[in-house]
Structure 1
Amino acid sequence: MKLAVKTLDGADAGSVSVADEVFGLEPRADILHRMVRYQLAKRRAGTHAVKNRADVTGSTKKFVKQKGSGGARHGNKKAPQFRSGGRAFGPVVRDHATALPKKVRALALKHALSSKAKASELIVLEDANLSDAKTKILLAKLKELGLSNALVIDGAEVNENFARAAGNIAQLDVLPVQGINVYDILRRDVLVLTKAALGALEERFK
């Protein structure tokens, strides 16, 4: 399939052919859902923790005799039912990541790209270079392209001026092609790929 190419000023710059195996698939919500859940689970820190009765500082002396007190049979006051006691069944430090086959992850990226292409929410740019790192200049260019909520994917290296100018704009993300991922693609209204990014993606899926 062919996609129109635009310049950063909004002018036409010809067209480019892309692989139907990457941009022409029928998007499957189940694969995209699995991938998003995988990404969100993997990025969780999992550092939440509490002190159980083994971690609480205190005496282990039996503080009440076993029989004759008329109360329950307690051991020491580090038990969870006492004030300053340890937490019972509290959270522990753990990894929340789940397993997802590499082939499914690659397929999910193809389906995410295809979903943007099918919904006409994919723009191809000649390049994403700015001569000055001015947010005002970039905002004017984005207005020409009709972009207010977008993810911009550049080549192996992002133009420094473009990245600095985009850093002050809400709802605009800029990533190098090696950082492209399903979650960031789906969370923005429009996906913007440079020709350098397209070439890198073709090499990746070859």
Structure 2
Amino acid sequence: MKIKLQSLDGAQGADIDLSDDVFGLEPRADILHRVVTWQLEKRRGTARGTRERADVARTGKKFGRQKGGGTARHGDRRAPVFIGGGKAHGARVRDFNPSLNKKVRALGLKMALSSKAKTGKLIVMDSLVVENAKTAVLFKNFSTLDAKTALVIDGDMVEASFALAAGNLRQINVMPAAGANVYDILKADTLVLTRAAVEKLEARFNG
């Protein structure tokens, strides 16, 4: 498929060819849902469990006689009522570490890119250089894109002047091509790729 290159000021340039294997797929909601769910679960840290009666290393000897001592009939010091005893009804370990096939993850990323191209929310730019790295200049140019939020993906590294100018704009998220992921692409209203990002993403799948 072909798409016109744009500049930051909104001017259109020559056409660029995008691989149909990466940007021309028919998106499937089930694949995208699986990948997004996997991403969000991978973000969650493992919950630490507490030590219960069976986990506490204390004596199991009965410390008092059964009757006549004036205290409860405890069989050991692991009971939750004692200092150093096990926790009653404590938190259990919950490990959020799901697995997902690499082919499904790669397919999900292709479909996320294809969904932006299909809905017309994909913009390819030749360069991200911002004059004097000024936030005001970038904000003015961004207003011409008619987008509430934008995810901007560059090549190996994000253009320094653009990253500096976008630092105070919460509606713009930037990342290198290596960080491209399904959740951030779908969450953004508009996806902005540089020519270098397109080459990196296509090489990532074709390699």
Could you report, residue by residue, the CA deviation over 1:10-48 in whole angstroms, capped at 9, with x for unpaired residues? 101122111111111110111111111111111212153
SS of aligned partner of 1:15: strand
Distance in 2 between residues matched to 1:168 and 1:59, nearest whole Å: 60
Deviation at 1:65, TM superposition (A): 3.8
- Equivalent positions of 1:179-198 (< 5 A) are 179-198=179-198
Structure-2 change in CA distance of 1:25 and 1:70 (3 Å): farther
SS of aligned partner of 1:123: strand
The aligned residue for residue 86 of structure 1 is 86
Deviation at 1:122, TM superposition (A): 0.9
Is the Cα contact below 8 Å between 1:142 and 1:148 reproduced in 2? no
- Equivalent positions of 1:1-206 (< 5 A) are 1-53=1-53, 62=62, 65-66=65-66, 74-80=74-80, 82=81, 85-87=85-87, 88=89, 90-92=91-93, 95-206=95-206
State the TM-score, normalizing by the size of structure 1: 0.86
Q: Which moved more, 1:46-55 or 1:193-202?
A: 46-55
Deviation at 1:60, TM superposition (A): 5.8
Deviation at 1:159, TM superposition (A): 1.0
Deviation at 1:70, TM superposition (A): 11
Distance in 2 between residues matched to 1:161 and 1:62, nearest whole Å: 72
Deviation at 1:120, TM superposition (A): 1.3
Is the Cα contact below 8 Å between 1:112 and 1:185 reproduced in 2? yes
Unaligned stretches of 5+ residues in structure 2: none
Distance in 1 between residues matched to 2:14 and 2:107, nearest whole Å: 29
State the TM-score, normalizing by the size of structure 2: 0.85
CA RMSD, 1 decimal: 2.6
Deviation at 1:56, TM superposition (A): 6.2
Structure-2 change in CA distance of 1:59 and 1:133 (3 Å): farther
More helix by share: 2
Deviation at 1:127, TM superposition (A): 1.4
Deviation at 1:131, TM superposition (A): 3.2
The count of aligned residue pairs is: 204
Deviation at 1:89, TM superposition (A): 5.1
Percent identity over the alignment is 52
Distance in 1 between residues matched to 2:117 and 2:155, nearest whole Å: 19
Could you report, residue by residue, the CA deviation over 1:154-190 in whole angstroms, capped at 9, with x for unpaired residues? 1111111211221211132100001101111111111
Distance in 1 between residues matched to 2:66 and 2:36, nearest whole Å: 55
SS of aligned partner of 1:158: coil
Deviation at 1:110, TM superposition (A): 0.5
Unaligned stretches of 5+ residues in structure 1: none
Structure-2 change in CA distance of 1:58 and 1:196 (3 Å): same
Is the Cα contact below 8 Å between 2:42 and 2:97 reproduced in 1? yes
Letter in 2 for 1:29: A
Structure-2 change in CA distance of 1:186 and 1:71 (3 Å): farther
Structure-2 change in CA distance of 1:133 and 1:63 (3 Å): farther
Letter in 2 for 1:90: A
SS of aligned partner of 2:131: coil
